[in-house]
Copies of this chain bind each other. A is one copy, B any other.
């Protein structure tokens, strides 16, 4: 992945100094060519070691490695900002605008894919699968987040995994009181700081259920108490674009889990196909 995309995706979780480094690099990527780590540090009035530690935290071998990567990125011109500025200039709705939106979605998808370990996705799929056969699957999301919960619940039902779906906290609290070991609660909450949802989550865990959260990748109280946390990364300066990207990235994350559920187990796969056929028959005639 482009180092610039990576930097931007993690910018939100950075400390003040780190964020200043990130911003400087994002805005002056071309200057990096002539900067040593010391010069960069001077330009920002911080210590050279902070620069090095910054690069290492991002997963680069060190400062020269980052520098090299940024050089490649610039050469490819895949910094994602230039195109993005070009979009804004154009008010007209045309192919390039739509194409750009898709490109931005692809970036969010990539960022999101990279911050979720494949093992986590696997684990989520398995937890849902076992809860689906031997226990119960609970699901909740408020406001916009209800959309994701709802659509995922529909998908699961096709797999023969019914779920208990609520869209307000009090009712969910009541439902969850019936939970037990091995059950799963999926909580969708973009910012993950809704007190009621945290409360329900904690309560659910007390009852020995597995708590799966789906939130933005910033650290948040909900994610903190989860057994399994799915994270979504999506950024855009334009406040009306960001939710579009968030939804798209989140949806793809869930689609990944869904596909894994579909393909993971032979028996479930057969069940799925027959369900789909039955649904088809109900709708057609």
Which A residues are within 8 Å of any B CB, using their own CB? Answer: 33, 64, 67-68, 71-76, 91, 93-95, 97-99, 101-102, 105-106, 109, 113, 118, 121-122, 125, 143-144, 147, 150-151, 154-155, 158, 191, 239-241, 243-244, 247-248, 251-252, 255-256, 258-260, 262-264, 272-273, 276, 283
Contact = CB atoms under 8 A, between A and B. Distances in A.
B259 A244 contact: yes
Nearest to A147: B151
B102 A118 contact: no
A274 to B, nearest CB: 11
B93 A260 contact: yes
What does DSSP make chain A's interface, helix, strand, loop or mixed? helix
A157 B282 CA distance: 33
Contacts of A75: 71-73, 75-76
A210 B102 CA distance: 29
Closest 10 CB pairs of A and B: A94-B118, A72-B75, A75-B75, A93-B260, A240-B262, A147-B151, A75-B76, A239-B276, A71-B71, A244-B255
A251 to B, nearest CB: 7
B276 A240 contact: yes
Contacts of A272: 240
A273 B74 CA distance: 32
A106 B102 contact: yes
Given A72-B71, A251-B247, A113 B93 contact: no
Contacts of A240: 158, 258-259, 262, 272-273, 276
B122 A93 contact: yes
A101 B259 contact: yes
